[in-house]
Amino acid sequence: MLACMTSTDPATLAPRRLPNETPQTLHRGPYTIIKELGSGLHGRVLLAFDDRLQRDVAVKLPAALTVDALTSDRVNVDELEQQVKSIVAECNAMRRVQHPNVLQIDRLVSGKKLDCDYVAMLTEFAPNGDMFDLLEVAGALPEPLVKVYACQLLRALEACHANGVVHRDVKPENLLLDANYQLKLADFGVAATAPAGEDATDVFSRDESGTALYMAPEVRSRRLYRGTPVDVWSAGVVLFILMTGLPPFNAAQKGDAWYDDLLAGDLEQFWATQPDEVLQAMTPGAQDLISSMFVKPDQRITVSEALQHPWLRGADCVDSSLVFHVEAAIAASKLEAA
């Protein structure tokens, strides 16, 4: 007989709810599934309409529950149990961080499939996709726009670290864009957390979590590493890509010449051998900030220090005209390609 979770498992079946909120069953409740937005190792994200709130929401379901599986009589129970635990852990990490540049949770809802309990996480919906989508249509972004997004990303990470959360998977695909193109840090599926009430200063890990191209070198060492500098390195990779439309190295592994330069601490060689299009796009201020993010973890700048960097001085972190600037960047890219 397949074992399912029981109601006595508080770690997976005791999600927080809003006051006076009763559990809802996703496939019977007031949610109309519109389409799938994406999927990952532990979950798939759907766009749904919340009839009660009269607005779109994003719904993260365990990956074992495809839309078809909701009406099927078969489901991989072992996978479902593990994915539920992952979603609950992600929810707990996200609930710690209340910040305008961090995706906010609406609620956790419960469901049942073949006598197996599961949860789904409802979050605000970001209708303009993610930063990767934007880069695909706009290419490298103008420097003023990069400064805004750099500021928003660093502020999001600063809030995470202050509340005991290390994201560990910062990349363009996890930077969502709301209706006004404001950045929303999302997908805390591999986040590491400090004990409640503590900041992330003493969060250490040993596991290799994240996405290869954006991983700090110490993550690959299989040795104990401090968490917060890992997010800074990843943010540096993101800023490099936003400025140039290209990654800083071909592969985050030994044998890649540019990556080897960074491992050796040879920033001068790293920059000197970059292609012309990178050097033309990269202003001295941006280069200096990114350099401070691409050093050994004990020398690496913190997110709070990065926000004080001269290159970001005067940057408007809450740019009310982002829609205009982003649409202008997209239009300019299309005109150039025509």
Residue 230 — pLDDT band, cuts 50, 70, 90?
A: very high
Residue 134 — pLDDT band, cuts 50, 70, 90?
A: very high
pLDDT at res. 79? 80
Residue 20 — pLDDT band, cuts 50, 70, 90?
A: very low
Look up tokens 């937005």; give the residue: 37
pTM for this model (two decimals)? 0.87
Least confident of 33-37, 120-124, 206-210, 276-280: 33-37
Helix (H, G, I), strand (E, B) or coil at 322: helix
> What phi, psi does 202 have (nearest 5°)?
-105, 30
Helix (H, G, I), strand (E, B) or coil at 31: strand
pLDDT at res. 4? 32
Give the residue from 100, 91, 80, 70 showing the smallest Cα distance to 17: 91
Residue 7 — pLDDT band, cuts 50, 70, 90?
A: very low
Residue 1 — pLDDT band, cuts 50, 70, 90?
A: very low
Is it the case that residue 96 has pLDDT exceeding 60?
yes
The CA distances from residue 246 to 132, 150, 243, 250, 258, in Å, are 12, 16, 8, 9, 13
Q: Which is more confident, 334 or 304?
A: 304
Look up tokens 């800023």; give the residue: 239
Binding residue ranges for ATP: 60, 124-126, 173-174, 187
Is it the case that residue 29 has pLDDT exceeding 70?
no
210-224 residue pLDDT tens: 999 999 999 999 899
Q: Which residues are catalytic?
A: 169
Please spell the DSSP secondary structure of 252-312, one letter per residue: SSTT-HHHHHHHTT-HHHHHHTS-HHHHHH--HHHHHHHHHHSS-TTTSPPHHHHHTSGGG
* Full set of structural domains in the chain with CATH: 22-124 (3.30.200.20), 131-337 (1.10.510.10)
Residue 114 — pLDDT band, cuts 50, 70, 90?
A: low
pLDDT at res. 268? 98
Is it the case that residue 205 has pLDDT exceeding 60?
yes
